[in-house]
Structure 1
């Protein structure tokens, strides 16, 4: 049972630079029963000698790793995602792994197929950017000594994989209660949250419509959309709810285009014609 649950979790590495780190991550994933490694625009050879040296008996995890160009591609089909960061960000609540990670393992009422959760790690030299954090619903920071708080990438992945495995090894343990001010929506859901690719389509349409009606302006669109993404990611809307929201946007687009056509027609009717 634990193995099948852990098989639904993706370990997502954004632009990993060190083959030794990637190999060590593959090894600890296999140690803890995780199988699904996703590399976003890797800056190293995950099948090279250094990676294989550190992977030892986990070469199969490296061989099966999925390589994609962007983070949205890595999250396609996922319904829940937790991002890791070593520093506080504006309007971001940081939780320890032991509190947050079991949320990825909670049972869901599935619409189609199998629930997927993702645990996202940033590049070794910079961590995840604010834009990359927009693709997650919760955020984890590993407590460490303030004198040197930054962990090695492979070490951070190892701690998180260990916490996931340990939680499943103690099935009688209750799910940790999310600390205030996290919303109650993080309790087990009676429906399946929309996958991230479905949400991404909504965000793209929302930005287009808000620019068209003048609510957004090009120079401030990114910061405003950041807030919208955080809002809807926290809300965990279902696929049906996202479809309803997109229906509203489509109606706004239609009404705006119709109003523009009527406005042009009115101006044309008022323009004097030559006899």
Structure 2
């Protein structure tokens, strides 16, 4: 297994010391791709560079984007970290058992997503991930520092990467941006036919996202689903035109 295609994604990090420490721990464990979503600090500040020590090149090559979908462009697998138990059907998994999944297609990009220091990831942001991990901690003190959480996950990933890859055929998972385009198309259609209403569309689509994310859609399957939506849209348009004749 390889760490070459794995992105560490930080959503709106606020502490330059944390960002610098994360760059350092990434280099410790052989990860090099850092993506910062709308950072609330300067990743090249004196504080960040000081904490990075000999990993300054990771900060200098970090990719800055405005939104989480931009950070996940081209990825086929994404796991989000969360410290809160949510009323979702998707289970919270242990990093040791879940993270190896990110490395099963080393030739394709994958992402491990971390939220803000003070409040983590929003429900909307969690919708972009396919699986979710929670680092088990003592009930006496549940909260983990961001850089510490990244360090634990990087260690687990490095341990996974040392294991020999099982020689089995891997599915052709659809890139997350391709799946996202399908979600947008599906939502538009469901609004058009009255299945969704504007004021409840977000919460209902969240259920659809969870359903499809559990399925780990392949590229051909997304193409099939989009074809169905196109055909329904075509039928609706033709029905409307015939009624107006």
Specify the TM-score bucket, using the shorter chain as the normaliser. Answer: over 0.9
Residue matched to 2:96: 98
Aligned equivalent of 1:85, options 60, 65, 82: 82
SS across alignment from 2:140: helix
- TM-score for both structures, normalised by structure 1: 0.85
Map 1:175-190; keep pairs closer than 5 Å: 190=170
Residue matched to 1:237: 217
Q: How many residues align?
A: 243
Deviation at 1:92, TM superposition (A): 2.5
Map 1:181-260; keep pairs closer than 5 Å: 190-260=170-240
Of the structure 1 ranges 148-157 and 254-263, higher mean CA displacement relative to structure 2 is found in: 254-263
Aligned equivalent of 2:33, options 18, 31, 36: 36
Distance in 1, Cα, partners of 2:12 & 2:154: 19
Aligned equivalent of 2:72, options 54, 57, 75: 75
Aligned equivalent of 1:56, options 53, 57, 61: 53
2:3 is the counterpart of 1:6: yes
Residues 228-274 of structure 1, C-alpha deviations (whole Å, 9 max, x = no match): 11111111111111111111101111111222222233xxxxxxxxx
Distance in 2, Cα, partners of 1:217 & 1:189: 41
Residues 15-51 of structure 1, C-alpha deviations (whole Å, 9 max, x = no match): 1111110000000000000000000011100011111
Residue matched to 1:184: none
Distance in 2, Cα, partners of 1:199 & 1:41: 23
Distance in 1, Cα, partners of 2:48 & 2:115: 18
Distance in 1, Cα, partners of 2:104 & 2:219: 18
SS across alignment from 1:148: coil
Distance in 1, Cα, partners of 2:140 & 2:9: 28
SS across alignment from 1:6: coil
What do you get for the CA RMSD once the two structures are aligned?
1.5
Residue matched to 1:140: 133
Residues 152-191 of structure 1, C-alpha deviations (whole Å, 9 max, x = no match): 000000000001112223x25x98xxxxxxxxxxxx7632
Distance in 2, Cα, partners of 1:191 & 1:155: 33
Residues 123-174 of structure 1, C-alpha deviations (whole Å, 9 max, x = no match): 11110111111111111000001122010000000000001112223x25x9
Residue matched to 1:150: 143
